[in-house]
Structure 1
């Protein structure tokens, strides 16, 4: 038997003002997308913005439903739309902003497990990492150079 140690390296910015201009702009688009979220049940609004290799930016927000499994997270809304509209264009960077309407969210909120799996699929298919930046409403911003940092030992088509 042997033990395996898995480590992830993330970059933490103290606040939004430390971000490079292009990333701050992408984050602002995620903030605007968050305003369009439909989350009457969880009261947790999420916005995502994805910068594509062709210069386009695709946004998405979470959309809930009384039948909970029928809703969709902001990250998957954006990534599936990007994949459908621009199927052969690489996704470079994703920005995510999340927070509750009942209390201030100051800690960075990473993608949920289902979203991590969806992002991993696109990262594997394009054979190139997607940078992911995520934050709460205010406060620190976390950067991951690849989804692999957030989902080690991921499941992909190589297992099928």
Structure 2
């Protein structure tokens, strides 16, 4: 028997002033997208902004439905829209902002498992990392080098090759 430790490095920014301008602009777009989220059941709004290699930005927000799990998360709305609108253009980074209308979120909310897997699929397909910028209602901003970092032991297309 043996043991293996899986870990990753996370960059933490304590304020907007510490962020690069490009990241700040992406967060601003994700914040604007969050405002139009449809979250009448959870009251937890999420906005996402995807920066593509061609400098285009695609946004998304969560869309809930009374018939769970028929809704869709902001991250997948944005990533799938980017794939449909700009096929073959690599994703450079995604800013994700989340906040609750019923409580203050002092830590960033990371993408759910379905979103991690979906973003990982794009990362794997383009053969380069997709940077994640995560922000809550207030508090620090997290930056991850790659979605693979937050999805250890990911299930990828290599498992399905014949």
State the TM-score bracket (shorter-chain normalisation).
over 0.9
* Contact kept in structure 2, 1:15 and 1:138, CA below 8 Å: no
- What is the TM-score when the length of structure 1 is the normalising length? 0.98
- Secondary structure of the 2:69 match is helix
1:54 and 2:59 matched: no
Single out whichever of 14-23 and 79-88 deviates more from structure 2: 14-23
Task: Say whether 1:63 aligns with 2:63.
Answer: yes
Deviation at 1:110, TM superposition (A): 0.7
**In angstroms, what is the RMSD of aligned CA positions?**
0.7
Which whole-Å deviations, capped at 9, do the CAs of 1:33-84 have from their partners, x for residues lacking one? 0001000000000000000000100000000000011100000000000011
**Where does 1:67-86 land on structure 2 (aligned, <5 Å)?**
67-86=67-86
Which string of whole-angstrom CA distances, capped at 9 and with x for unpartnered residues, describes residues 92-142 of structure 1?
A: 010000010111112111111110000000000000100000010121000
Gaps of 5+ in 2: none
Q: Could you tell me which residue of structure 1 aligns to residue 27 of structure 2?
A: 27
CA displacement at 1:16 relative to structure 2: 2.2
Write out the 4+ residue segments of structure 1 that deviate beyond 3 Å after TM superposition.
Answer: none
Structure 1, unmatched stretches of 5+, are none
TM-score (norm 2): 0.97
Instruction: Name the count of aligned residue pairs.
Output: 160
Q: Does 1:99 align with 2:96?
A: no
